[in-house]
Amino acid sequence: MSVLIKGGRVITAADDYVGDVYVEDERISLIGESLDVAANRTIDATGKYLLPGCVDPHTHLDMPFGGTVTADDFESGHVSAAFGGTTTHVDFCIQAQGQSFGEALEGWHGKANGKALIDYGFHLAVTDLKEGGTLEELARMPDEGVTSYKLFMAYKGALMVDDETLFRTMQTASETGALVMVHAENGDAIDVLVREALAAGRTEPRYHALTRPPETEGEATNRAIQLARVADANLYVVHVSCKEAIDPIAVAREKGWKVWGETCTQYFFIDYSFLERPDFEGAKWVYTPPPRAKENQEHLWAAIRNDILSVVSTDHCAFLWDGQKTLGRDDFSKIPNGGPGLENRLHMLHEFGARTGRISLNRMVELLATNPAKLFGLYPRKGTIAVGSDADIVVFDPEKRVTLSAATHHSKSDYNLYEGTEVTGAPEVVLRRGEVLVEGDELVGKPGSGQFRKRARVGEELRSSRTVVAA
Ligand code: URP
Ligand code: ZN
Ligand code: ZN
């Protein structure tokens, strides 16, 4: 099967030129000017951008959480991703208490089997580390292509780990070359604040934010950075939401420490006031870390411009408002934490980042595709448009006008974080390994065709940009 994409404006993290891209057998085999080659299919991309398929390193599909299970499984989540121009994601495989990592991974592979439309990998979320068992098993996980360990420093009584587990995981990562990811909030302090609020009868959604002040995120971020220094581990801080967390990352990066940070689309657009909406509507924006005071949004734009933060992900963790969020109608601490967003990351960053001039188109590609692919051991197979790379390509129409809405999105969630937002610019055709998944408003790809991708270790990726990623 071959595809010739003609006359598009190819935009990578580094380049911006008009050219033809020729795809054979899942990969890009030629890029040039006016290519004269026969193809099974030709796509006229005149006036369109050709972007690398976006890579989302932070999603939660089919995950038991908050007394329920996230609304999108690997089928609906992947369809939603594809319509938004995301062709690869890395999901969190969560170790249940008492479970081996092998069992946990088997469970997550089972969730994706037969349903996957886009390509995917797994991070391993460590919750239960024991010497003489899971500690040793953890060291073997990179051999399975699972090269990132995730730790929750919050959600006490559920996913939260203590500092010993955090530190020992960092020590293991330092030996294996895995990347340590942290959800950085001080879970002990938050637990006290939540109990105090509930005892005082404060039950509305806004108390979700008021019991998780930004200082708790800043403290945990700094703690994780300092411990990673001691362990000599590579650290990636997920879903950074506020200045208090940006600042220690900025210091670490200024010093050249092995620290990276990510924020998520929603933190640029949703602020604390959304949680105050009446009739329990505020529960739609109950995710963690919570929506912050509005002034943080400019700090976040500056941080992605200045490479203090290197990635924008979605933290897609979709629930229904009606039936799932409502579990917490009388108690904000029972509202399942999370929101949908996998489909709208490119729409929002293009409209409010690139079109406004806050970031360049190259930087947009870097944040949404190239950096996540590099950091998570998928580059250069993913995250760029180059000869030899997987033909994951978004033919993006910069003039197409779209209104974001739950009425038209593909997530199962019954609401959209950005309901009614109008954007100019949207994916027109989305290819994954040369196969057309989405064409206009039509789903063309078949669930079951997405593949698990083994990922390279951080050290390998940094040593060689041409690391081969085995399927
Ligand atoms: O509220 C959120 N973010 N839910 C997903 C779990 C997490 O903390 O990333
Ligand atoms: Zn988190
Ligand atoms: Zn998350």
Q: Which ligand places an atom closest to the C-alpha of 182?
A: 2
Dihedral sign for Cα atoms in the order 412, 418, 420, 422: negative
Q: Atom 9 of ligand 1 has which residue's CA nearest to it?
A: 315
Distance 289 CA to ligand 2 centre (A): 7
Distance 66 CA to ligand 3 centre (A): 13
Which residue among 56, 60, 262 is best mutated to probe the pocket of ligand 1, counting the most ligand atoms within 8 A of its Cβ? 60
Which residue among 317, 342, 417 is best mutated to probe the pocket of ligand 1, counting the most ligand atoms within 8 A of its Cβ? 317
Containing H/E element for 101? helix 101-112
CB 332 within 8 A of CB 203: yes
DSSP letter string, 63-85: -EETTEE-S--HHHHHHHHHHTT
317 C-beta closer than 6 A to ligand 1: yes
User: What per-residue confidence (pLDDT) applies to 461?
Assistant: 55
338 C-beta closer than 6 A to ligand 1: yes
Distance 175 CA to ligand 3 centre (A): 25
CB 432 within 8 A of CB 118: yes
User: What per-residue confidence (pLDDT) applies to 213?
Assistant: 98
Which residue among 69, 183, 217, 315 is best mutated to probe the pocket of ligand 1, counting the most ligand atoms within 8 A of its Cβ? 315
| Helix (H/G/I), strand (E/B), else coil: 60 | coil
* Interior/surface letters 109-123, b for 16+ CB within 10 angstroms, e for the rest: eebbeebbbbbbbbb
The whole-angstrom separation of Cα 291 and Cα 252 is 25
Which residues pair with residue 234 across a beta bridge? 179
The whole-model pTM stands at: 0.97
User: What per-residue confidence (pLDDT) applies to 459?
Assistant: 66
Distance 433 CA to ligand 1 centre (A): 30
183 C-beta closer than 6 A to ligand 1: yes
Question: For ligand 1, what atom is nearest to the CA of residue 58?
Answer: 9
User: What per-residue confidence (pLDDT) applies to 460?
Assistant: 78
Length of the chain, please?
A: 471
C-alpha dihedral (98, 112, 385, 431), degrees to nearest 10? -170
Distance 36 CA to ligand 1 centre (A): 49
pLDDT by 10s per residue, the chain, length 471: 999 999 999 999 999 999 999 999 999 999 999 999 999 999 999 999 999 999 999 999 999 999 999 999 999 999 999 999 999 999 999 999 999 999 999 999 999 999 999 999 999 999 999 999 999 999 999 999 999 999 999 999 999 999 999 999 999 999 999 999 999 999 999 999 999 999 999 999 999 999 999 999 999 999 999 999 999 999 999 999 999 999 999 999 999 999 999 999 999 999 999 999 999 999 999 999 999 999 999 999 999 999 999 999 999 999 999 999 999 999 999 999 999 999 999 999 999 999 999 999 999 999 999 999 999 999 999 999 999 999 999 999 999 999 999 999 999 999 999 999 999 999 999 999 999 999 999 999 999 999 999 999 986 753 444 444 444
User: Tokens standing for 37?
Assistant: 């080659």
**Under 8 Å CB-to-CB from 431, ≥6 apart: which residues?**
3, 23, 53, 87, 391, 392, 393, 394, 395, 437
Distance 462 CA to ligand 3 centre (A): 25
Q: How many CA atoms lie within 13 A of 401 on its CB side?
A: 2
**Under 8 Å CB-to-CB from 442, ≥6 apart: which residues?**
none
Max Cα–Cα distance, the chain, nearest Å: 73
Q: Any idea what DSSP says for residue 366? A: I
Distance 13 CA to ligand 1 centre (A): 28
Question: For ligand 1, what atom is nearest to the CA of residue 286?
Answer: 1
Question: For ligand 1, what atom is nearest to the CA of residue 337?
Answer: 1
Q: Atom 4 of ligand 1 has which residue's CA nearest to it?
A: 338
Distance 123 CA to ligand 1 centre (A): 14
Distance 339 CA to ligand 1 centre (A): 8
DSSP letter string, 134-194: HHHHHHHGGGGT--EEEEES--TTTTB--HHHHHHHHHHHHHHTPEEEEE---HHHHHHHH
Q: Which ligand places an atom closest to the C-alpha of 91?
A: 3
288 C-beta closer than 6 A to ligand 1: yes
